Structures are given as C-alpha cells and as structure tokens.
Amino acid sequence: MEDLLAKLVDEARRLGASYSEARFQELVTTEVAVENGSLKTYESDRLRGIGVRVLLDGSWGYASCSDVELSQLKKAARQAVKIARSSRRRGLEAEVGLQRTVQDRTSVQTRIESSDVSPEEKVRIGIEANKAAMIGDTVKNATTRLGTFTDMRLFVNSEGSRIEVNSSMAGLRQLSVAASAGKMERVSDGESQCAGFEFIQDRDWTKFCREISELATKAVDAQMPAAGTFEVVADPDLVGLILHEAFGHASEGDLVTTKESVLQGKLGTTLAGQDVTICDQGIIEGGYFVPYDDEGVSKTQTTIVEEGILKGDLQSRQTATKMRAKPTGNARAMSFDNNPIVRQTNYYMRPRDYSFEELVEGIERGYYIKGRGAGGGQVDVGGGTFTFAVGPSFLIERGQIKEMVRGTTVTGMVLETLETIDAVGKDLKISTSAFGGCGKGGQMVRVGDGGPHVRIRKITLGGQA
Amino acid sequence: MAELLSLGEKAVKLALKLGATEAEAFLSQTVQNLLTFHEKIESGKTSRLTGIGVRAIIDKRIGFASSSSKKTSDIESVARMAVAIAKASPRDSDWHSLPREGGRAKVDGTFDKKIAEMEPDALARRATEIIDLIRSRDRRLAPARGHLTTGVVTCSIVNSRGPELSKRGTYASFSIRVKAEDAGKKATSDEGWQARSWRETESQKLAEEASQRAIKMLDASPIPNTRTPVIFASDLFAEILNVMFTRTINAEAIQKGRSPWAGKIGQQIAKENTNIIDDGTMKGGFMTWSFDDEGIPQQRTSVVKDGILMSYLYDTYTAAKDKVASTGNGSRRGTGMFGVGNLYTRPPTPAPSNFVLKPGDTKKDELIEETREGLYVVTSIGEWLSNPMSGMLNATVTNAFLVRRGELTTPVKGVIVSGSFFDMLRNTIDLIADDTRNAGNFYSPSVRVREMTVAGR
C-alpha cells in the first residue's frame, strides 16, 4: 500500500504539484444496539479508500476514491491538480513551510482485538447491560449501544514522510427515557477509551446503565432551573465542553488567520485569571489518540493559555506558515475522503488547588452544572456567543448543594466567560467518546476534553421565568 | 446502475447460498464536489465513494454488514459477515419479511443535468463571484466562511422478496458566513440553501442578505431577562421542527416507548390552523425520491390535520408490527455511530422525507408589522440540543432584532429563547406566515409565538 501511495504522490508531482500527499484509511466499525431488552441492530462496516492532496501555485486540490486501484487513483491525482489550477486566481497563496521527514508506525496498546471477539459475546454483553437499565415502570425506554472500531491511517508525502497510525476504541452508551405524571425526560451518557475489547470486558456496565436510568427517573420529576445569569460550579465533563466550545474553536488557526475568530490579534494578552492554563495534547490518559495529525506532523502538547495569558493557537502547516508559527499537529480529517482542517485533539484545563467544597461555599445562589447527559454544544466564533446543553444539575443556595434541576441550555460570550473563571479545582478528568465527536465544515472528528471542577462567576441559563 | 445491480445480485445470491432465508443488498455511489472559501478559495475537492450494505435474515434472525468497495471479493465478505451476524443474533419475533411491495412513485425535479455535468473545477468561478459581490459592497464586510457543494447519488436495491430498483438524483448546497468589522466590533451573519437543482441567483441574493444583516449586527448585545412574543424566521423554525419531530414521529420511537406522541393519534396536539404533511413526492423536494431506501414507493402522508395527529411514519418493519402499510419512510440516512454515515452503512429505519408545516395566510412583513413588541430571531445556535421528549425548546440567539411597534429595531445576540414546544403547538403559535423555506428536508414558514422566556443579562 505504501508503494501505491508513493506512486500517487509522484504522479501528482509529475503533473505539476509543488507538494503532494496521499492518505490511505481502513476503518472497521462494529455497533450493537439493544433496545428494551432485545437486540435492535448489529452493524458491521468497513470504510476503505485513498485521498490525494496537492499544492500547486499556492492553491490546494483534493480528490478521493474508494476504489483502491492505480488507474482510478491516477485519475484522482489529475482531478486534484485540475481543481488546484481552477482556484489559482483566488488561491490561498498557501505554503507548507519546512517540515522534518518522519518514518514511524504507532498504535494504541490493546490486549484483546475487537475483531477476535465473537458477535455472540458482543450481543450478550449488550443485552445484559440493557436489561439492567430497565429498573421499573417509570423507565419507558432503555437503549444501549456497544461500539468498537479500529482506524488504520497510512500517510505518505512528497517530502519522504511515511507514517502509519493505528487507533482503536471501545465504548458503551446508555440512553434512558423516563415518564412521570405526563412528563418525559431522557438522559444519556457513555464511556469510551482508546483500547481494545478489554475495556468492555473489564467493566461493570450493568451498574453504569442502571445509574443512567436512576438519573432519568429523578430528573423527570425535577423542576427547570430559573432563567437568567448565575454563578456556577461546572464539573470536569462540562468544563471540557465549555473549553472546547467557548475557547477551543476560537483558537483554531484557520479561524484566526481568516480573522473570523474573536481571538485574532490577542496573542500575549491576558484573557483569564492566573489560575487558568489550557493545553491541547495529542496523547493523554482518558483522551483520544493523536500521535500525528493527517499532515504527518507530530502532535505533542500545545499550551494555549498559560496562567491567563494567550500563548498560542492550533495550527496546520499552512496556517502556521502564514502566521509565522510552528505547526502544532492539529490538521485533522474525518476520513480519507476529506481535507485535513485545523481541529482540536484533547483540549483541557490544568488543575490548581481548590477543593470542591471551597468552590461551592462562596455561592449565595447559583447552580452546580453537570455534564452527564449533556449532549453537546456549539459556538458562533465570529459573534463570540457559545452555547451547550447541561445534564440534570443542582441548585446551590448559601454554599450548599440543594435539589436537582432538569438539564437545560447554557450560553455565554467567549472572552467574558474565560475572564469570569475565578477558582480552579484540584481534580482532573479527561474523556472522549467512540459515539460522536466534534463537527466542523461537515467533518466529524473524535476529540477529548476535560479539566478540574471550576467556578464561573457569570453564565446564562435557559429555563423558567 | 447496471454495475451496482450486478454486484447486488452477487451479494444476495451468496447470502442465500450461505443459509439466509431472505436477503437484500443496498448499494450507493456518491460523487461529490465541495469548495470551501473565505476571502480566498481554501480548497476544492472531489470524492467518489461506492459501497454496499447487506441485510441477511435467517428464520427471523437479522444480520447487517456493509463496506465501501466494488470489488467482488469485498462484496462477498460483506454477504458472509451479514449471514454470520444473523446466526449470532437472537430471533426477532416482530420480523415479518423484507419488503414485497416494491415499486416507484412518479416524482419530478430530482435530477438536474447541470449539476450532473458540472466538472469538479467549475465551482471556483462561482465562489469568486460571491467573494467579489460581498467585498465590493462595503469595506467593513468580508466573506468569513462559505461552501458550495454538488453531488450525484445513485442507489440500487436487490431484494430476494421484491423487484430490483435503481434511482439517481442530484443535490447542491451553498452556505455563506459574512463578517462585518468596524471600530473593534465584530459580527457574523449566516445564510444558505440546500436543493436538488442548481440555484445561481439564490446564492447572490442570500450573500446580499447576510451582508446587510452583518452590518446591523455590529451593535448587537444581550437584553435583560424578559417574557415576550418571539418570531422565528422560516428556515430556523424548519430546523426546530426537525429537532422536535425527527426522533419522535417515526413509528419505531412510538413502538419503543421513546416518543411523547405515543397514544395520541386522533387527539388535538396543535391549534386548528396547524397542518403538517410528510410529502415524499413533493416536486424538487430535498428528500423526494420515487422509492424509499428499501424500495417502497414514496408517498404523501398527512401527519397533523387541522391540529389533529393523524399518522406516524412507517417503514416495512414497523408497519408490519402495527399491521398497517409502510408509508414509504424507510430511510438509511440516520446517523451512524460516528455521527455521519453513508447511505449504504445503515439498515433502514423510519424517518421523515419532506416534512412540511403548511403556510398560513399572513404575509411575512405583516407578521412583524402586527407585532407591537417582541423579538425576531433570524439565526440561532444550539437549537438542536433541545429536548424532543420533554418538549423543552432552547435556542441561543446569534442574529435577532427587537420589534417595536411593528418595526425591526435594536440588534440582539447572546440570549436564550426558551419555551415548551408542546405549548407552542397547542396554544401560543398565534400567526403562521406564507413564506416557506427549507432546512434540509424540513419546510416551514415563519411563525410568531405569543410569549416565550428570554434569558439574558
């Protein structure tokens, strides 16, 4: 396969490209879905193909194909070159800078390959976990999804780099729907890890699934929080989501170079208190596995905010060249049929020294907002507004955790929110998911995020008047 | 199409030989062109993806496997895998049969020759025109992000119980985010379209609209907490219908106990002026096809008539369980484990085709003119995080205007508009305009809601 990619890269160069790269991918996915005690679907998919990217007179062109045959691939190379030519009049004037060539092969460590586990065993585990979630008449629906995948990516470029990255993941996700007194509520959550099937076998999923159902049962009887702006303590799951939406996207180099991001021109300025340090890191416990990005650049640790000061952005080779910075290994593609674009990897806040009790004790009236059952978020990078959902949460009154409130939607302004983080906890949790990721430009990629518990002085909650 | 059908035949034949009592192959080939730009053209791409998904059934045990590829050896391993999974699966007593009533409905406007013949490099010139239009309009404006897509999809179905069928269609889409920058202030506005045919002039018109709005949004800020009438722009409300109905109006959600609409057929769920249809045959509709993703002719289904819930949406499996006929809503679009998937990677489940809230008789301008005080919301983020089970709608506003005495005044952003979607349907939507637009396969006019909660400063 490496030779085929090398031929493709050469063909693109022969056709006039100043730089070219080819990527092969084979992604094997298995998903077992069990609903209300019965197997709903068992799906097994294999996605395979090659993409070729060329740079010609400062313009990019990309073509991909699921037929892995030299004749088809040569056609793809011609198309990529033709597309690049057509964009020249308004091209990016892109450059990729100098990059050291890399020859490497690296993998997630696994004990049990998911492909070695029989379908019967996967169905058995799924059904057993699902049955545990059916805890009574209030629970109207329990859906359990068990998912595994292996993603093999091979990268070859015209500078002589050859990199193979094998990542594997396993996870389980539970959705429980509860109904009570004419009202319905749903809560879902999952746990995933870059690992083999041992991650599934070593855990007590019946306990996990039962807890989700218990949470849904409690939440359905809870009140909505009050609408308005409050002081909150956010748990690590939510801190990850807040950082990812409220700050991570705005620090993506492509959005900065096009001046779309509210962080453009702010390097070196103070954006937050001294307690706030934010990093993006390719390999970290609990996170997704990104040793190299899809441009073959090694992804190590990038410090974005250090003690409150904006230190850097996330870069691809092209945005780095344009901003006279170093590539940070953040050019990522969903699959072989997509262009790499600037993405986060594992984005998190470093812990400091507050205990949970200390974070809560100063709050007169606010909320302890939680990530379990949250469901995602979104940001308007230019306007600076971000939003995300929170799961079932708790009222805080006079420094005490009080009753549960239903999940809701939260909003804030990118720069304002970071500024109002006034206390950072001493715990740390980073997590990722096999079942979804972050969407940008029509591409989903897997990311990790997290941090400690933090206190935020000002955030707006949707709810009851 | 002949190539896809012959691959499908091979897969079905092998599955039957390996012990399947029924088997079906669904094949799709997608050729897509995408161009992304801001002030410059970022990148163009073209991709070609062929794949197959096989359903194999052995005595009510169902297996499904899929793969990208059109190599015979790969096709054979997909069939083998589907059979192996069927053998490992417990019996599903609700399984009836693969579709036996396959066929075609007569549809129009699903194939645009202009799109099919467009070369991958043809989009660059069109993007350049849009860039120039925005840049020449006002020094404070620039395109921040835009895309143009065209695609041709071909699908074939081979089914041991029904006829062989093939279909081919086109689609295209455009989006533009215009940014305005002035004296340290920044704002962005989004517009776009998704259709089955190419809409050259529409792109320019929308780029112009986004430009005008971005300038106004430079002065936007949150407002204090309040309760006020809210007007939702047509395409935003179409998206809200998507969030609130897609996962709950399908018969699977009803049968599995995860829908608030369960047991409500024949009941008044909305005001009498509310009519919703699922129209799989609408001319040029975003999801119009002659047959659904398991070969059943698409049709027009009344979902809500004069406020009364009339029907759920069925595929063959859920229809057999309720002893009714499929409504031609078998869909493989769904979201895969990863959030996005290719058609062939999923077995069919019931999902809306073109889901249409019928327009009222109020002109869009009148909707605003007749509002003494309120908030007109043009775009939001996070509305997709709303909860279709509890009915709690939350939309975080990015572009909006205060309405005072029938006129748009102060620009607003960064507030959350909340309310119960169920109450909106039953009570508080008091005006429906006549200006239908679509967000993908959801079609809606602009609507006014009498009162909603706005969480702000």
Whole-angstrom Cα distance, residue A270 to residue A264? 14
Q: For each successive 10 residues of chain B (457 residues), what is the average pLDDT? A: 94 98 96 94 94 97 95 95 96 96 96 92 91 95 95 96 95 96 92 95 96 97 95 98 96 95 97 97 97 98 98 98 97 67 90 97 95 97 91 95 97 95 97 96 98 92
Assess whether B99 and B233 both reside in one domain: no
Assess whether A172 and A290 both reside in one domain: no
Assess whether A243 and A179 both reside in one domain: no
Residue B348: the pLDDT is: 96
Assess whether B177 and B64 both reside in one domain: yes
Residue A240 DSSP SS3? helix
> A373 pLDDT exceeds 90?
no
Residues 6+ apart with CB under 8 A from B261: B248, B249, B253, B254, B269, B309, B312
DSSP conformation letters of A166-212: EEEEEEEEEEEEEEETTEEEEEEEEEEESS-THHHHTS-HHHHHHHH
End position of a domain, from candidates B216, B251, B267: B216
Inside any domain, residue B228: yes
Assess whether B142 and B231 both reside in one domain: no
The CA distance from B425 to the nearest CA of chain A, in Å, is: 16
Residue A337's pLDDT band (cuts 50, 70, 90): very high
**Residues of chain B contacting A263 with CB distance shorter than 8 Å:** none
Of B71, B81, B389, the CB nearest to A44: B81
Assess whether A236 and A215 both reside in one domain: no
Whole-angstrom Cα distance, residue A416 to residue A455? 14
Assess whether A195 and A267 both reside in one domain: no
Residue A437: the pLDDT is: 87
Per-residue tokens: A67: 């037929």
Assess whether A438 and A297 both reside in one domain: yes
Average pLDDT, chain A: 94
DSSP conformation letters of A366-416: EEEE--TT---EEEETTTTEEEEEE-SEEEEETTEEEEEE--EEEEEEHHH
Inside any domain, residue B65: yes
**Residues of chain B contacting A322 with CB distance shorter than 8 Å:** none
Assess whether B370 and B226 both reside in one domain: yes
Whole-angstrom Cα distance, residue A224 to residue B15? 52
Per-residue model confidence as pLDDT tens digits over A209-255? 999 999 999 999 999 999 999 999 999 999 999 899 888 999 999 98
The CA distance from B383 to the nearest CA of chain A, in Å, is: 9
Of B179, B256, B336, the CB nearest to A35: B256
Residue B277: the pLDDT is: 98
CB contact (8 A) between residue A141 and residue B257: yes
Partner B, chain A 326-385, Cβ-Cβ below 8 Å: 334, 337-339, 375-385
The CA distance from A438 to the nearest CA of chain B, in Å, is: 9
Assess whether A214 and A233 both reside in one domain: no
Assess whether B101 and B228 both reside in one domain: no
Inside any domain, residue B378: yes
Residue B335: the pLDDT is: 58
Residue A259's pLDDT band (cuts 50, 70, 90): confident
Residue A383: the pLDDT is: 78
CB B282 within 8 A of CB B105: no
Whole-angstrom Cα distance, residue B406 to residue B370? 6
**CATH at residue B142:** 3.30.2290.10
Residue B113 DSSP SS3? helix
Assess whether A201 and A329 both reside in one domain: no
More confidently predicted of A465 and B192 = B192
Assess whether B226 and B84 both reside in one domain: no
End position of a domain, from candidates A201, A219, A237: A219
Class of residue A400 by CB neighbours under 10 A (exposed 0-12, middle 13-18, buried 19+): exposed
Assess whether B97 and B232 both reside in one domain: no
**CATH at residue A75:** 3.30.2290.10
CB contact (8 A) between residue B381 and residue A389: no
Neighbours of B283 (CB within 10 A): 12
CB contact (8 A) between residue A60 and residue B44: yes
Nearest Cα neighbor of B337 from A205, A197, A44, A240 is: A44
Neighbours of A160 (CB within 10 A): 11
Closest Cα in chain A to B63:
A42
Assess whether A151 and A235 both reside in one domain: no
Over pLDDT 90: what percentage of chain A?
Answer: 83
Is A84 within 8 Å of chain B by CB?
Answer: yes
Assess whether A149 and A8 both reside in one domain: yes
Is A464 within 8 Å of chain B by CB?
Answer: yes
Inside any domain, residue B25: yes
DSSP conformation letters of B231-242: EE-HHHHHHHHH
Residues 6+ apart with CB under 8 A from A11: A73, A74, A77
Assess whether B229 and B115 both reside in one domain: no
- Using the CB atoms, write b or e for B37-51: b if 16+ within 10 Å: bbbbbbbbbbbbbbb
End position of a domain, from candidates B216, B232, B255: B216
CB pairs under 8 A between A and B: 317
Assess whether B97 and B229 both reside in one domain: no
Domain that residue A313 falls in = 228-461
Domain total for chain A? 2
Assess whether B143 and B62 both reside in one domain: yes
Over pLDDT 70: what percentage of chain A?
Answer: 100
Assess whether B167 and B235 both reside in one domain: no
Of B66, B339, B455, the CB nearest to A436: B339
Closest Cα in chain B to A48:
B68
Residue B341: the pLDDT is: 63
Is A58 within 8 Å of chain B by CB?
Answer: no
Inside any domain, residue B310: no
Is A387 within 8 Å of chain B by CB?
Answer: yes
Assess whether B212 and B225 both reside in one domain: no
Domain that residue B108 falls in = 2-216
Which site among A26, A87, A95 would you substitute to test the B interface, given the most B Cβ atoms closer than 10 Å to its Cβ? Answer: A87
CB contact (8 A) between residue A36 and residue B256: yes
End position of a domain, from candidates A190, A219, A248: A219
Closest Cα in chain B to A375:
B385
More confidently predicted of A91 and B276 = B276
End position of a domain, from candidates B216, B231, B262: B216
Whole-angstrom Cα distance, residue B47 to residue B51? 13
Residue A125's pLDDT band (cuts 50, 70, 90): very high
The angle formed by the CA atoms of residues B49, B55 and B56, to the nearest 5 degrees, is 140
Is A294 within 8 Å of chain B by CB?
Answer: no
Inside any domain, residue B399: yes
A83-111: average pLDDT: 92
Domain total for chain B? 2
Residue A374: the pLDDT is: 77
CB contact (8 A) between residue A44 and residue B65: yes
The CA distance from B16 to the nearest CA of chain A, in Å, is: 19
Closest Cα in chain B to A40:
B92
Inside any domain, residue B111: yes
Residue B221: the pLDDT is: 92
Residue B340: the pLDDT is: 53
**Residues of chain B contacting A51 with CB distance shorter than 8 Å:** 47
Residue A118 DSSP SS3? coil
Inside any domain, residue B73: yes
Neighbours of B451 (CB within 10 A): 17
Which site among B396, B413, B453 would you substitute to test the A interface, given the most A Cβ atoms closer than 10 Å to its Cβ? Answer: B396
End position of a domain, from candidates A166, A185, A219: A219
